């Protein structure tokens, strides 16, 4: 798992592994393996959001220790790109940093793909600037809109506040297949064009590197990527609210608090015991993994509800 509290995630491996394998009484624990003498095996494929990737990659790493004969691969082509593969039947599950769109639901229906939506954590879309930027500590939603909506002008910091440098703002943003881009579009752009000078990438690590390298850079991505790089990036408060686990969970960090999802194929759940086992593992361990990689765990009741949803797929 790249750049996201790897040591913290691995630190949970032993405890989760022991729970997954069960105790001396022969129970299966979090891994939910059916019987002691039954070995799960198979290949599972997922794709989708780069924002969900840190928590999912950590879960996959630790699941591999519990079920060594199940191989889980996870791509990061963005929420939209992940849904395209899910619709085409190329994946068993799809990671998303936004709820599924109506047009995607229709395509899945046309393809005969029934699915179950599972929430696994909270995230806060985080606006970040270069560490040397000592002026843009707080922005309003209106400031962000003025910056990021294309209006045919060259954007300068002084356009937002005359006391700020008369330097061109350098923009970095997730690609258009990203659920983070879609979310930003919904709450800020409102279907206006993103500033044309922005460098776009589906890989959040590319955005992190770009912003680190330019004093006048600004960008946005999931909170975990900021948390992993907070020694070299500054997070911008929004309407005087700083992004952190408390403000994200409470919804105070508006409008950028949001849930993260996994969508799983019902047919694959019925056909592949390994997939059901893996999804049980995901739900049972997402809270700890959210803490480990810098996201925010859901209330226990939400994980309980997710288990009920999985169990209802027979």
pLDDT digits (tens, 9 = 90+) for 55-65: 999 999 999 99
The pLDDT of residue 63 is 97
- CA–CA distance, 299 with 209 (Å, rounded to integer): 33
pLDDT > 70 fraction of the chain, expressed in percent and rounded: 88
User: How many Å apart are CA 7 and CA 228, to the nearest integer?
Assistant: 11
Whether the pLDDT of residue 26 is over 50: the answer is no
Query: How does residue 2 score in pLDDT terms, banded at 50, 70 and 90?
Result: very low
Q: Where in the chain is the domain with CATH 3.40.190.10?
A: 6-122+258-311, 126-255
* Arithmetic mean of pLDDT over the chain: 89
What pLDDT, on the 0 to 100 scale, is given for residue 39?
Answer: 78
Band the pLDDT of 37: cuts 50, 70, 90.
low
Q: What is the pLDDT of residue 7?
A: 41
Strands annotated E in 255-308: 257-265
Asked whether the predicted pLDDT for residue 116 surpasses 90, the reply is yes
Q: What's residue 72's pLDDT?
A: 98
**Strands (E) located in 108-154:** 115-124, 126-130, 138-139
223/233 Cα distance (integer angstroms): 12
Q: What is the average per-residue pLDDT within 216-230?
A: 94
d(CA 196, CA 157): 17
Residue 33 near residue 67 (C-beta atoms within 8 A): yes
Structure confidence by residue, pLDDT tens digits, 265-306: 999 999 999 999 999 999 999 999 999 988 999 999 999 999
Predicted pLDDT of residue 17? 43
- CA max distance for the chain: 71
Predicted confidence (pLDDT) per residue in 166-199, tens digit: 999 999 999 999 999 999 999 999 989 999 999 9
Alpha carbon distance, N-terminus to C-terminus of the chain: 33
Structural domain 126-255, CATH architecture = 3-Layer(aba) Sandwich (3.40)
Give the pLDDT confidence score for residue 91 in this predicted structure. Answer: 98
The confidence score (pLDDT) of residue 38 equals: 63
The pLDDT of 207-214, averaged and rounded, is 97
Question: Is residue 48 within 8 Å of 82, Cβ to Cβ?
Answer: yes
Q: Which CATH architecture describes the domain 6-122+258-311?
A: 3-Layer(aba) Sandwich (3.40)
Place of tokens 């606006």: 127
pLDDT band at 87 (very low <50, low <70, confident <90, very high): very high
- Other CB atoms within 10 A of residue 80 CB: 21
Could you give the CA distance from residue 231 to residue 5 in angstroms, rounded to a whole number?
13
pTM summary value? 0.79
């Amino acid at each position: 798992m790249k750049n996201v509290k790897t040591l913290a995630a691995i630190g949970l491996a032993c405890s989760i592994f022991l729970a997954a394998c069960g105790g001396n009484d022969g129970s299966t624990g979090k891994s939910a393996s059916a019987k002691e003498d039954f070995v799960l095996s198979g290949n599972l494929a997922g794709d989708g959001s780069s924002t969900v990737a840190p928590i999912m990659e950590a879960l996959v790493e630790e699941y591999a220790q519990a079920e060594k004969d199940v191989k889980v691969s996870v791509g990061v082509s963005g929420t939209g790109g992940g849904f395209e593969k899910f619709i085409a039947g190329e994946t068993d599950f799809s990671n998303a940093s936004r709820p599924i769109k109506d047009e995607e639901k229709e395509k899945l229906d046309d393809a005969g793909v029934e699915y179950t939506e599972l929430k696994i954590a909270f995230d806060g879309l985080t606006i970040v600037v270069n560490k040397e930027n000592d002026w843009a500590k707080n922005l309003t939603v209106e400031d962000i809109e003025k910056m990021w909506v294309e209006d045919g002008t060259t954007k300068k910091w002084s356009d937002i506040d005359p006391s700020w440098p008369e330097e061109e703002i350098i923009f970095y943003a997730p690609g258009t297949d990203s659920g983070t881009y879609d979310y930003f579009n919904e709450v800020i752009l409102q279907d206006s064009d993103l500033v044309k000078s922005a460098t776009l990438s589906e890989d959040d690590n590319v955005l992190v590197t770009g912003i680190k390298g330019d004093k006048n850079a600004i960008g946005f991505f999931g909170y975990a990527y900021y948390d992993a790089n907070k020694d070299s990036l500054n997070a911008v408060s929004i309407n005087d609210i700083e992004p952190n686990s408390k403000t994200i969970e409470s919804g105070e960090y508006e409008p950028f608090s949001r849930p993260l999802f996994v969508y799983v194929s019902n047919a694959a759940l019925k056909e592949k015991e390994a997939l059901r086992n893996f999804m049980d593992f995901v739900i049972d361990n997402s809270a700890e993994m959210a803490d480990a990689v810098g996201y925010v765990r859901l209330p226990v009741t939400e994980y309980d509800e997710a288990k009920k949803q999985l169990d209802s797929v027979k």
